[in-house]
A and B are shown apart, each in its own frame.
Chain A
Amino acid sequence: MPVVTSAPPAVRQGTESSRRGDTAPAVEVVDLVKRYPKAKVNAVDGVSFTVARGEVFGLLGPNGAGKTTTMGILTTRVRATSGTARVGGIDIGANPSAARALLAVVPQRINLDRSLTARQNLLFHAAYHGVGRAERNRRADELLDRFGLGDRGKDKVDNYSGGQAQRLMVARALMHEPQVLFLDEPSTGLDPQARLFVWERVRELSDRGTTVVLTTHDMDEAEEVSDRVGIVDHGKVLALDTPAALVAEHGGAGSIDVVLEPADGESASDAAVAEALSRVPGVRGAEPPGGVPPQGERRLRVDVDGEPAELLARVAEAVTGAGAVITDVRLGRADLEDVFISLTGRELR
């Protein structure tokens, strides 16, 4: 697989993005390797990438690809075997406690403090990070409001639903105003409303200058919220770019699926139609798609370069010319899922 790297886009100029004087990237990972004791292969196998301040960076990969381990190293929970990882310019291996001051983590599993109320969860987290009393009270109220929990601050977190707990964990993470927020599978197990809510908050954070690094195996999530996406598998970064650029580069062609009937008095074979189609400029080829067509339906998939809609008229013309009629048509545009499947394969993990 080709390793594609691209320069991080210019830093979005948020209101707070420049408040910390230095210019180090938010996250910098160089040749990171992690091999667990007794493991036969590296869980993370030479990963390098850079995340600019204010950027939303998605690590996309199948289960066991190494994204969670990478995240673990970046959040000081996993010790790297070799390579360096920096957050806000601080070497995590050398100075984990200083790095912890700059970062926040929203884990996949709920790890709220069940002995405390929601608001106390926020307050004590801020206290761990040395935020003064008046300031942490102010931030707790503001964040509870912002995350739609304003009236539930006094409730024990045991009584929270999964979505509420998730929101509270994001709010907690923001209590010490981290430079970089790490979200591990942020919308796994959430209903669509909660997903959208989390995505909106992520975009909002990024607009305010907070860097967000998230792992996901959800294409929509990666495409929707990430400025850039790194596709990871077998511990390596296979491709890294904006979602649009990844699709353009690896997504392959668009396609036009056509359902055919012979025109009156004609008996054009699929082969003849395909032959006619392949002479159309911009068409790479045409063949029956995989799978059994319903009730003897005749169907052809036409692979095209570029935008399928633009070729539709000429495809229809060619089909008619070959003595058949189109009864149905479906356009297929490449998306991140195609990129993902083409890079990581189809086998189950």
Chain B
Amino acid sequence: MTTTSEPTAETTTGGAGRTVNGRPSQLRPVLAILGRDLFVTWRELPGFLAQVLLQPVFVLFIFGQVLGSLDFLQGDYAQLLFPGVVALTAFLTALQNTALPLVIDFSFSKEIEDRLLAPTSTVMVALEKIAFASLRALVASAAMFPLGIWILGEIPWRTEAFPLVVLFVVLGAVTGGAAGLTLGTLVPARKINTVFALVLTPLLFTGAAQYPWASLEVLRWFQVLTALNPLTYVSEGLRGALLPDAPHIPVWVCLLVLTGFLALFTATGTRGFLRRALD
């Protein structure tokens, strides 16, 4: 083993003494941790896809296809629904994939202890959780596009909207991951079932995924309520990007509010994580 006290970025065989520019690299251990998570996901790919895709596929199928075939829906409802389902997939996949493993890790498996002992800051380990869950959410969201075409026959698409779609999917996933970090570190293990039921179902149905927010004018109290759900701004942002003619909250408002939620949840999540990780 080579160990050197001199600053070096390229110590390929060294362990403990690794430094970059004279300071221990905070990032490399995190990338290795992310590598482990991706490795395990890759090996369990079918299970992972089933877990994250089943719910949005059913929503699309029932609300977009079945109800449409039965003539319960007006013509282009499926087109309004699709951006919402992509948003829902991005946000909730990231949220669940952060919160649930964290609860298990801190309470039962303790697997996280070995990561917390990696030579990096504890906050970085928390951020890796968000990053990894967001990656899973991105894969799931991307898969919704071919699945959408397959189930609905056609999906709303504008090539020029591509950057905005990517932006909202990424922002939705990361915000969901940060919300999951908050939830997963806040909730004691024995209450996780109750809390998940109490949080996930309302999030799922108050996020403007299944209806454009502006159309809720007729249900004012519900419109106000949905404005509190971060998912609303992902749904509306994607709807605005893909269906600019449909009623939607302005894109800049969505970006602003989502950035605010992201900052808030990252702060509460990392605080919660530090509280659980350190005594």
Contact = CB atoms under 8 A, between A and B. Distances in A.
The contact size tier of chain A is: 35 or more
Interface stretch (A127-135, A140-148, A234-242, A336-344): A127-135
Query: For chain A, what secondary structure do more than half of its interface residues adopt (helix, strand, loop), or is it mixed?
Result: loop
B1 A128 contact: no
Given A75-B117, A101-B16, A101-B18, A127 B35 contact: yes
A154 interface: no
Interface residues of B, number: 39
B259 interface: no
Nearest to B40: A115
Given A109-B110, A128-B115, A36 B15 contact: no
B279 A72 contact: yes
Given A135-B1, A135-B13, A127 B36 contact: yes
A111 B113 contact: yes
Given A78-B279, A111-B109, 16 more contacts: A69-B279, A77-B277, A77-B279, A100-B120, A105-B117, A111-B113, A124-B36, A125-B114, A126-B15, A128-B32, A129-B15, A130-B18, A130-B29, A131-B14, A132-B11, A178-B16
A94 interface: no
B278 interface: yes
Interface of B: 1, 3, 5, 11-18, 24-26, 28-29, 32-33, 35-36, 39-40, 44, 109-111, 113-122, 277-279
Contacts of A294: none
B111 A111 contact: yes
A75 B33 CA distance: 19
Contacts of A104: 117
Contacts of B110: 107, 109-111
A69 to B, nearest CB: 8
B117 A132 contact: no
Nearest to B41: A115
Interface of A: 19-21, 36, 69, 72, 75-79, 96-98, 100-105, 107, 109-116, 124-132, 134-135, 172, 175-179
Contact of A20 (B3, B33, B40, B278): B3
